[in-house]
Amino acid sequence: MKFGDEGFFTTKLESILAWARKYSLFQYPFATACCGMEFMATAAPRYDIARFGAEAPRFSPRQADVLWVVGTISQRQAPVLKRIYDQMADPKWVVAFGTCASCGGFYDNYTTVPGVDKLIPVDVYIPGCPPRPEAVLDALILLQEKIQKGGREPIVVPPREVPTLAQIRAKKALR
């Protein structure tokens, strides 16, 4: 669209706001189980989530943009999770971290919520039990792209190919 056309400023302003939002995400980690260990690993220097402007956790939902649901959610925890989501200001996004948060995992019983999307809308699903930190960073990048483009279609982080031992050795030999 050329400068001066109708809608130029609105379009550009939304694009700039989306750009600013995607690089200043404040996270609310709702960690309940073993997946929490991998979530913590992403904040450590090896994976360094700070590179993506998303290192700052907020333990008040009113100050958070992204709700990370990390681990199994029991039926008793469900109302708490829903309330936290409701307390977050718009725009807000949700990541289901790991198989348990995405679909209940192997806890196929009456005490476990079979996926947090039964309670709140989910933007990005991360498969894995637990997901590797690389998958978590992939999820964050996908979420940032989604924030820039707009829209609320759910995304699933695609699997990565795990290198074989022979491939790792060959790579080391090239160094």
Q: Are 41 and 80 in contact (CB under 8 A)?
A: no
Site for ligand SF4 contains 99 (CB under 6 A): yes
Shortest distance, position 74 Cβ to ligand SF4, whole Å: 12
3-state DSSP helix/strand/coil % of the chain, to nearest 5: 45, 15, 45
Q: Are 69 and 97 in contact (CB under 8 A)?
A: yes
The span of 3-11, 80-88, 96-104, 158-166 binding ligand SF4 (CB under 6 A) equals: 96-104
Reported as half-sphere exposure (CB side, CA atoms, 13 A), residue 147 has a value of 24
Site for ligand SF4 contains 35 (CB under 6 A): yes
Site for ligand SF4 contains 105 (CB under 6 A): yes
Tokens of 144: 């940032």
The span of 11-19, 29-37, 43-51, 74-82 binding ligand SF4 (CB under 6 A) equals: 29-37
The span of 51-59, 94-102, 117-125, 137-145 binding ligand SF4 (CB under 6 A) equals: 94-102
Q: Are 54 and 140 in contact (CB under 8 A)?
A: yes
Where do contacts with ligand SF4 occur on this chain (CB under 6 A)?
Answer: 33-35, 71-72, 98-100, 105, 129-130
